[in-house]
Structure 1
Amino acid sequence: MKRLITSAVFVIVMLSIFPIVGQADEDERRQYYYVLVDRFQNSTEVTEEGVDRDDPDAFHGGDLRGLQERVDHFVDLGITDVVVSPLFASHNYTGAPVLNYEQIQATFGTREDVSDTVEAFHDEGLNVIVHLPLDAVSDSSPLMSEDWVSDDGELDLTSGSAADYFSELVTTWQSEFNVDGFYVEDVADVPTSFLETVTGASDDLFWIGEAGELSADDADGLMNAGMDRIVNRDFDDDAKDYFYDINTDMSLLLDDPLRSREDVVHYMDSYSTDRFTNAMEESGLHPITRWKMALTYLYMTPNEPWLYQGAEHTATGQIEDGSTHDMMNFLAGDDQVTKHIEKLANINENFAAVRDGEMNVLHQDDNFLVFERVLDDDRVIVTINNSAEFRKADLDHLDSGLELRGLILNDLVRENDDGTYTVSLERESTNVYNVQASQGVNWLLVSIFGGVMGLFVVFAIVIYMKNAKERRKA
């Protein structure tokens, strides 16, 4: 009987979830996760020579085999592209400046480990993007003898020889390791001719560049030079300023000229910034609450989302003391943000409107932001309350006969008598609604639930009568 009740309850849950699932298609929206390999996971199977965990500036032992052990972590988060820090031999745990592009950093593993790691991610359908430093090499690099390398190790990327060298390098990594692409910092400082040559070396590689003070024209120029995505470095400053406190200026987010571009990537923090959690702690507000709000905006706008390792655990840290590079802590106790990311990733996967739809702002008063993502008949409405009070808004642009079903918070909004739909939120919270045809009363669900309750009552009566009979015999 217990097993029957459990099974029936499972069916009820599945039936209640089923109507909110959107129609997925093959157009995938990318979700990135940057891994600082040395500070992610130590497998204890790779050489410890050169590792000193007591020195914050030394290698701490994270390696590629450790990364392989955590593939499921990325799958659970809904990540599509894992961006790994430079794997080339270096004197610095960050991988830059590079000592030798022809060698793998010994503390990370071997060339075989690189291949095995890429294969492990590919087996789960994830792409592997490698961070490619292009600014300088260390003074003991073999490249110091090249005429396109200065005495202080800076690379002259206007040189055709430099473009030829890196073109051969990336195609070698593609053929030998089967990597999917490369990530370049400060891409706006890289000569266009160099980018065109290197990105054109293979049509199959995916290129991501990061730049600051980025205009729409700048982004277009980089795309024309061969970039597939541009990471907008300035977004995290505006996002931190907005989510730092309640009742902040919403124009910090809504006036972003790049917020409607699907080829632009946004993050809340990165390996080169102070942690988002630190800024929230300084404000005196609850970091987990603020992370949930910020991530909802990050994932639900047209720009693709980028996470830096530890964001799912609300990791703290600053660049000044190196703590933003602390070793990943998989034993962090609170999983609220992790679960929130999983929900957002699921919405991304299942709703075409979130992946490719137009973004329309519906309400932006009283620190209550409501916007929608629309693609054909697929519509998702996003609500973010950045105030200290309960907020609501009446939406009058929707057709009659619909309902809004909450995908993060369990909420169901039906049409008012005047034809509007009222969405509401408690303070400092968010929700995402799927707009669908009104389901009315789900009689199948009601009948199943009633049947389960009836079985439970019968079971309780039988047990009671059996116990009463035994008591009388006694």
Structure 2
Amino acid sequence: MKVKRWFGLLATLFLLVSTVNPAAVFADEKRTIEDKSIYDLLVDRFNNGNGNNDFDVNARDLSAFNGGDFNGIVERLPHITTMGFTTVSLGPVFEAESYDGNKVLDYTKLDPHFGTADEFVEMISALHDEDLYVIADFPLGGVSANHVWAQNGTLKPVPAADGTIDWDSSDAAVQSALKEAIMEFVDTYKLDGIRLTKIADFDTAFLNEVIQVVKAVNPEGYVLTNEVSDADFDAAPNFEKMEALRKSFVTFDPDSAPLSLFTNDDQGELIQFDELTGPRFTFDIVEARMFPPTRWKLAVTALFSMPGTPIMPYGTEIAVNGEAPPENHQLMNFKTDEELIEFISNLNTLRNQSEAFRNGDFEMLHNEGGFTVFKRSSDDETWIVALNNTTETSSLEIPKEVIGNDKLLRGVLGGDLVREGKDGVFRIVNDREVAEIYIADEDKGFNTPYLIASIMVYVLFFGFLFLVWRKGRQRR
């Protein structure tokens, strides 16, 4: 069955490449945040690539620096590109008191645990060579009480909790200093954008001024936030939809009605269900006594096929557990089973090749009791996504008016094939707790080339097994 799934996926990708010009899809002037998929990581927790900066490092203490650095990201870059992500989002990289970049000490210096300025530039260059965008966090508050601006009296701090301070958001000097620091950060390191965090104390007018500053330095750059805001961010989170995703897949037979929140009006929305600031998705799964691999496959299929720009935190691909920092910020383990990694790669590859999944129309066809079916379409493509998050086999009848004339539905995850019935209806049937994605392909009747290719796959596979068996007998 796994061979069949791989062949179905490869056949679909070939169909997409033959009908859609990738160069046109990804032309720079046409790129929007909706075209992106974001891999979100903490530098300290990704990979240790340079032992020379391992001072005060203790990989056994989750509250301490664990050794991840800029060189480590370059070293493990294939891990990110293999999964098909187009953007890497970095947690704060400034000199700070904590491993996660919180409690910033100086906006003009990089944390020495992560590497030098030259190594940061080299890392960004390496990511750019792989056509990856690089975005970094810039916290507007919650900095260390020992921040250089507070220590030298440059700006007057506002005391906050846990040894942190905020800035007086109404102070013109504060606003000017922050805008200057942001402009210098983006310009010096040629970043493709920033994500503003800790923005609650700042009004919309100031945030829009910051956005304009970034756009002046890099007109193609993105300005994101991880908080709700009325400012003109390129994208901001929709927490209601994120919660809908999480609750709809953490257990089987859920109330999936909240998924109806997803519509065509989802531009500029960041979507994720796993997170670094609270309980990881695996934590909720384990608490509900569910089987993580099944839950994850359904959830990531929804993430990469529903409207919005998907964000996936590091560790999602290996189902990292943990309720809160630092337990949910485990050092990345690259020696784990790669089944989920491959599954994410397949989904992201489809999304990268398909205009319909990134910017196409969305139509909910069915959503009841955990069985959710929706359509994604553009002028050139039509897809049907079926998510059966129930404990029973589920089915749905779809009229041909939804699919189109002379079409068949070809499943790319499970290899299912659905043809139009004599009554003009497509009947899709999905096993319990399984996701399937169908592409509407031309139905030319008896598909001889596909059949021959399928037979060849099996002939080659069993031929290989026979050679291995015969070689084993010869050694006896």
Category of TM-score, reference length = shorter chain = 0.7 to 0.9
Q: How far apart in 1 are the matches of 2:204 and 2:460?
A: 72
How far the C-alpha of 1:186 sits from its partner, in A, is 4.5
Secondary structure, counterpart of 1:364 in structure 2 = strand
Aligned with residue 353 of structure 2, among 337, 342, 350: 350
Structure 1 residues 387 and 423, CA gap change in structure 2 (3 angstroms): same
**Number of residues paired by the alignment?**
434
Of residues 196-205 and 70-79 in structure 1, the stretch that sits farther from structure 2 once superposed is: 196-205
Matched, 1:149 2:153: no
Query: What does 1:318-467 align with in structure 2 at a 5 Å threshold?
Result: 318-319=323-324, 322-332=326-336, 334-396=337-399, 397=401, 398-446=403-451
Match of 1:58 in 2: 64
Q: 5+ unaligned residues in a row in structure 2: which ranges? A: 1-5, 462-476
Aligned partners of 2:37 and 2:310 also within 8 Å? yes
Q: Which amino acid aligns with 1:123?
A: D
Q: How far apart in 1 are the matches of 2:248 and 2:145?
A: 42
Structure 1 residues 303 and 107, CA gap change in structure 2 (3 angstroms): same
Match of 1:3 in 2: none
Q: How far apart in 1 are the matches of 2:194 and 2:392?
A: 45
Aligned-residue Cα RMSD (Å) equals 2.7
Q: Which amino acid aligns with 1:149?
A: P
Structure 1 residues 365 and 319, CA gap change in structure 2 (3 angstroms): closer
Q: How far apart in 1 are the matches of 2:349 and 2:239?
A: 26
How far the C-alpha of 1:79 sits from its partner, in A, is 0.8
Of residues 78-87 and 240-249 in structure 1, the stretch that sits farther from structure 2 once superposed is: 240-249
Structure 1 residues 455 and 245, CA gap change in structure 2 (3 angstroms): closer
How far the C-alpha of 1:392 sits from its partner, in A, is 0.7
How far the C-alpha of 1:209 sits from its partner, in A, is 0.8
Q: 5+ unaligned residues in a row in structure 1: which ranges? A: 1-9, 213-217, 457-474
Q: How far apart in 2 are the matches of 1:195 and 1:454?
A: 61
Matched, 1:278 2:280: no
How far the C-alpha of 1:285 sits from its partner, in A, is 1.9
Q: Which amino acid aligns with 1:150?
A: V
Aligned partners of 2:74 and 2:126 also within 8 Å? yes
* Larger Rg computed on CA atoms: 1
Matched, 1:195 2:170: no
Deviations 1:369-390 (A, max 9, x none): 1100122242111100011010
Match of 2:182 in 1: 170
Q: How far apart in 1 are the matches of 2:134 and 2:203?
A: 25
Of residues 280-289 and 247-256 in structure 1, the stretch that sits farther from structure 2 once superposed is: 247-256
Q: Which amino acid aligns with 2:441?
A: Q
Q: Which amino acid aligns with 1:434?
A: I
Matched, 1:317 2:322: yes
Structure 1 residues 130 and 418, CA gap change in structure 2 (3 angstroms): same
Secondary structure, counterpart of 1:222 in structure 2 = coil
How far the C-alpha of 1:193 sits from its partner, in A, is 2.4
The two structures have a TM-score, normalised by structure 2, of 0.85
Structure 1 residues 441 and 17, CA gap change in structure 2 (3 angstroms): farther
How far the C-alpha of 1:283 sits from its partner, in A, is 1.8
Q: Which amino acid aligns with 1:342?
A: S
Aligned with residue 90 of structure 2, among 84, 92, 96: 84
Deviations 1:47-91 (A, max 9, x none): 221212343311111111111111111111111111111110011
Q: How far apart in 1 are the matches of 2:355 and 2:415?
A: 21
The two structures have a TM-score, normalised by structure 1, of 0.85
Of residues 151-160 and 445-454 in structure 1, the stretch that sits farther from structure 2 once superposed is: 445-454
Structure 1 residues 135 and 386, CA gap change in structure 2 (3 angstroms): same
Of residues 16-25 and 400-409 in structure 1, the stretch that sits farther from structure 2 once superposed is: 16-25
Structure 1 residues 165 and 151, CA gap change in structure 2 (3 angstroms): same
Q: How far apart in 2 are the matches of 1:141 and 1:14?
A: 53
